[in-house]
Amino acid sequence: MIRNRRDEDFDRLCDILGELDDHAGVIAERRPRGWLQEVDADRSWVFDQAPVRVTPTGNVVGHVQIYQSSDASWVCHVATQLSRRADDLLVIGRLFVRPGKHDYGIARYLLTESVKYVEKQGCLPVLDPLDLLFLPASLCAKLGFKELPTEDGLRSAIARTQ
């Protein structure tokens, strides 16, 4: 189940980040806890494998944040390509799941619910290009995301265009 992230979840989330092969490339020199707290998110959710009646638990296996980033140059560039205002885009980022048997399904659920939330706000969902190492490209494509070049040409942003 998805629930709001709590302070008690940070240790578990930092442990999960340590298990991910690509985490160093995503968070670079930042500390995991700082990386999880550095954006002022509209929503910070975790996926908790426990039944609703016993939360919070140590069974947190996934994380996602939804936030406004209209001052980021890549967001402005994507907004221009899509003939939208930067304020019309909400970023889905810091989405990661503990490696395991059901990690693809959990990632799909977190991303699907995030897209629903963003679109309910009347905004267009975009994925933070720095976090894309954590997401399978096939999952993004299945959910209608399309790769768009950023102005620096070094990376691509992914926006939901369907």
Mean pLDDT, range 128-132, rounded to an integer: 80
The two three-digit tokens of residue 68, written as one number: 């406004």
Q: Residue ranges of the domains in the chain?
A: 2-160
Euclidean distance between CA atoms 159 and 101, whole angstroms: 28
pLDDT digits (tens, 9 = 90+) for 87-117: 999 999 999 999 888 888 999 999 999 999 9
pTM: 0.87
According to DSSP, the residues that pair with 97 across neighbouring strands are 62
- Per 3-state DSSP, the chain is made up of helix, strand and coil in percentages (nearest 5) of 45, 25, 35
pLDDT at 50 over 80: no
Topology of the domain covering 2-160: Aminopeptidase (3.40.630)
Dihedral sign from CA coordinates of 3, 60, 158, 127: positive
